[in-house]
Structure 1
């Protein structure tokens, strides 16, 4: 038996096993204890770090192991901010992000310079680097937003974009001030800075996606994919440092680069978020707490004055930036409070600025002591600022976020348009299990966590080995779904008539959508098409999706989406459109809608309520479909809204698409959608009472997409 030595129990604890155990106990207990008293667990982790740290009871030292883990957590926060940002909404709101970024940078900078130069008597050089402390902020309460399900909220997107802008500008000031103190601010300095930043941006934003797309297409091992993501985070952080920027900017850019390659509903995304929120981010919060020294309140009056002034100006300036943003864009009071809650916290970038300023010695006093660009009072003040701002950020974000979630819940509960969603995946081949499950996860609403079903049909005449094969197929589907926290139901049926068995299950479970998967090398067969058109599945008010996956969905850059004329008159069109919108949101792929002017007008109204990345190609001659299909490039996919021959909007050329798929797209991803048609009049459709009322269509569908 191995016993801990007496030395390992002395303070600070040095034994690695005991150190890691203690940190894990804190990470475990903080949320459990603090949730009961409505205190954000992020704050608890920071306070715990202060208590056990070198400035507290000195239980643990802030050594290299804590610093490395904490740095990873900080990079993780910035990476997740870039990874989870909705690129469609980000592009739609980019000017709002820029405006907020300029507000949250310039207002604190101006107030900080006035405070430092005219109140504290700092030199102008010290005043600028001092003021840049207030301009920066760290998204320390971003994990709270993630747990509340608000990461796609427009205000969150704006704050994330603004964070990148203000931190880059603040750190740019830091680089300039350092250059001035070293006498290096000249044409060569500016040229080097511009070139290095440009090269960094090109490498991360353009080269990283190419490398990552190739890797995800070639490597299916889940562990290797996750390690690859970590490599990309640290590589981008290193490149940022080489470019003269802070590592956090590199991590954020890495998130943007991989944004479209890690679908929000994928198992990889679930792993990235899980490991970050469980280990790395808590380590970062504890490491921040270890910097806090409560004894600074007992020091000289000058330190206390600096602390009070720094904290007041930091909080006031961020509140003013949020208020200015609210007034500029007519945001609600709750949205203003959420902006303030997210942007008021200071941690990572603040520490970077303070430590650089503190370590720059610009001379000596009469006693031979070093004169620093930022003195010890500012260093202590920044530590207290971190504690107070993170506390305020945690409480404000938690309270405001809960109110916003409650508002959305109340709105959705009063809606009569909520879809009853149940998705069925008939699967008979193991190779198509993963792509079919991934498609189902992309199509479903975020509220649907247990209404996805995997079905396998066993022919009565088949051998006993068929049952083992069935169990393996269904088990694989259930496991893939479980890795994304979705509870998939597995179903096994014995029947000699496959389509009849599927139809019976659809009736039993009231299935809204059924997804058929095609084997990669076989594509459509005449038998499959015949059985499909004679299955009567559409008569159950069920949309049919036929999916062919030649490569992972996450690697598809863009889809060509064909929507034939008068498709909006099919009863299931809007149900199917919701699924397509979910797919665009969750995969991040761009949609090129190839359709008529009238349908494009409907889609544009929907975009006002739920934005995705898309473009429109208006066509009148539907005989050109074959040319469109032939021009599908690598890493692009094809989607088509199909018709049954009995449908009023049937076009004969659309019926020829399966033949074109086999001829041109055997090595491409494609999805054929058959909206159901119950032959009821369009005026009776539950979504709209007047098919010309496009604004109402957009509003209703937009609300559906929130679910």
Structure 2
């Protein structure tokens, strides 16, 4: 029953860290990420990554993205799909090119250098979603574009990763069909999403009212969420893609407010704090001196390539500078998506073992910096809006 003590420690420390972060005027998620670094292998070593941490953090990020889907305006998502595609494509090209070229400075082989680029094409907006929720910008045009871009970005990263793993001929275990089969499965999955949103989710949510349980509506919504997340993961997409679209599907029903009201305490009281702490646990200072220049260069490139690439994509879609800056900042975070890709690459022998810890450090540092950038961008945008209102 040691996990009960671990969970208690996480909840107490993240509660305090989130509270004092808010008092200092920084996003609460930063304090929760720092808890993982302080309590984890990097410093005190009271907590270690393990099955319990992994499973709870997976549920946490799934619930976080489910709530993001619930709060998303599907009309806005359709409206900003084109900007989302532009942001995603340019935001993939920049890191793919520049990080790959920079990797040659450290004597990486062409295949390993390309995989370094793949790692940093991935965007994990779960951190950005939390900051956007905190700033009440999740349903803005910038927040909607970030969410749309993240879905496209995820698909592009998975396709590129599948090609690389197929080229190496290394099986990574689990469900690993050929590239063609995997691509067809993913196309069918996105076609299936239409049917879920249009008919399946509304039918299941209406059916939930017939069960003689007070929480039946919430339970059925979670079944839809977890089921779509599982199927997405099974065919090679990120589980968060499935949970996000599950949130959109449930959000189009009359039960949206009830589900959001009931799921939010479940997520934020238990699972989501574990997810944020788990990212901090990946940090390790072992061998940091030998790979210091690698860490510095890759961190700078990881931040700038998404910030500039995403921002250029937004400008191409007609956004002004401050809006483009906000969108670019929202795409910087790598989080669990980059960690998953790095782990797959390590198992497939696509990463130098001596650089693996350094890559994890870069991913965590980038994830820590992202909320600060996003908050700064949002503050600039707010000042611009206030100035425009004053002129009017």
Find 1:256's aligned residue among 248, 253, 269.
248
Q: Is the 8 A contact 1:129 1:353 kept in 2?
A: no
The 1:72–1:297 alpha-carbon spacing in structure 2 relative to 1, beyond 3 Å, is: same
Shift of residue 208, structure 1, vs aligned partner: 6.0
Does structure 2 conserve the Cα–Cα contact (< 8 Å) formed by 1:89 and 1:157? yes
1:205–1:385 CA distance, 2 compared to 1 (3 A): farther
> How much does 1:339 deviate?
1.4
Task: Say if 1:190 and 1:281 are closer, same or farther in 2 by CA, change over 3 A.
Answer: same
The equivalent of 1:128 in structure 2 is 114
Report the Cα offset of residue 215 of structure 1: 2.4
Task: Identify the structure with the greater strand proportion.
Answer: 1
Relative distance call for 1:285 and 1:277 in structure 2 (3 A) is same
Q: Which residues of structure 1 form unaligned runs of 5+?
A: 1-13, 361-371, 416-707
Q: 3-state DSSP class of the match of 1:295?
A: coil
Structure-2 separation of matches of 1:183 and 1:73: 31
Counterpart position of 1:146 = 133
Q: Tell me if structure 1 keeps the 8 A contact 2:162–2:179.
A: no
Contact 1:262 1:269 (8 Å CA) reproduced: no
CA contact (8 A) 1:129 1:173 kept: no
* CA 198–332 in structure 1, closer or farther in 2 if over 3 Å, else same: closer
Aligned pairs (5 A) from 1:633-648: none
Give deviations 1:634-671, integer Å, cap 9, x for gaps.
xxxxxxxxxxxxxxxxxxxxxxxxxxxxxxxxxxxxxx
What is the deviation of 1:46?
1.0
2:310 and 2:200 map into 1 onto residues whose CA distance is: 38
Q: Which residue of 2 aligns with 1:690?
A: none
Distance of 2:170 and 2:335 partners within structure 1: 29
1:392 paired residue number: 369
2:233 is aligned with 1:281: no
8 Å Cα contact 1:148/1:405 also seen in 2: no
The structure with the larger Rg is 1
Tell whether 2:174 aligns with 1:197: no
The equivalent of 1:219 in structure 2 is 208
- What is the aligned-residue RMSD (CA, Å)? 2.5
CA distance in 2, matches of 1:16, 1:358: 28
Task: Give the equivalent residue in structure 2 for 1:305.
Answer: 293
Within 5 Å, give how 1:589-628 maps onto structure 2: none
Q: What is the CA distance between 1:55 and its match in structure 2? A: 3.5
Match runs of 1:534-573 below 5 Å? none
Question: Following TM superposition, by how much is the alpha carbon of 1:267 offset from its aligned partner in structure 2, in angstroms?
Answer: 2.4
Distance 1:277 1:406 in 2: 30
Task: Report what 2:230 is aligned to.
Answer: 238
Cα distance in 2 for partners of 1:282, 1:181 equals 37
Q: C-alpha distance in 1, partners of 2:215/2:248?
A: 22
SS in 2 for 1:135: coil
Whether contact under 8 Å (1:310, 1:381) holds in the other structure is: no
Answer whether contact 1:109 1:128 (CA < 8 A) is retained: yes
Quote how far apart the aligned CAs of 1:227 are.
Answer: 2.0
Between the two proteins, the alignment pairs up a number of residues equal to: 383
Name the CA shift for 1:271/1:136 in 2 (closer, same or farther; >3 Å): same
In the superposition, the TM-score normalised over structure 1's length comes to 0.51
Structure number with the higher helix fraction is: 2
1:463 — aligned with what? none
Asked if the contact 2:312/2:324 (under 8 Å) is kept, the reply is no
Distance in 1 (alpha carbons) for counterparts of 2:123 and 2:356: 16
The 5 A counterparts of 1:66-145 are: 66-116=53-103, 118-139=104-125, 140-145=127-132
Deviations 1:615-651 (A, max 9, x none): xxxxxxxxxxxxxxxxxxxxxxxxxxxxxxxxxxxxx
Name the SS for the 1:297 alignment partner.
coil
Q: Is the 8 A contact 2:66 2:225 kept in 1?
A: yes
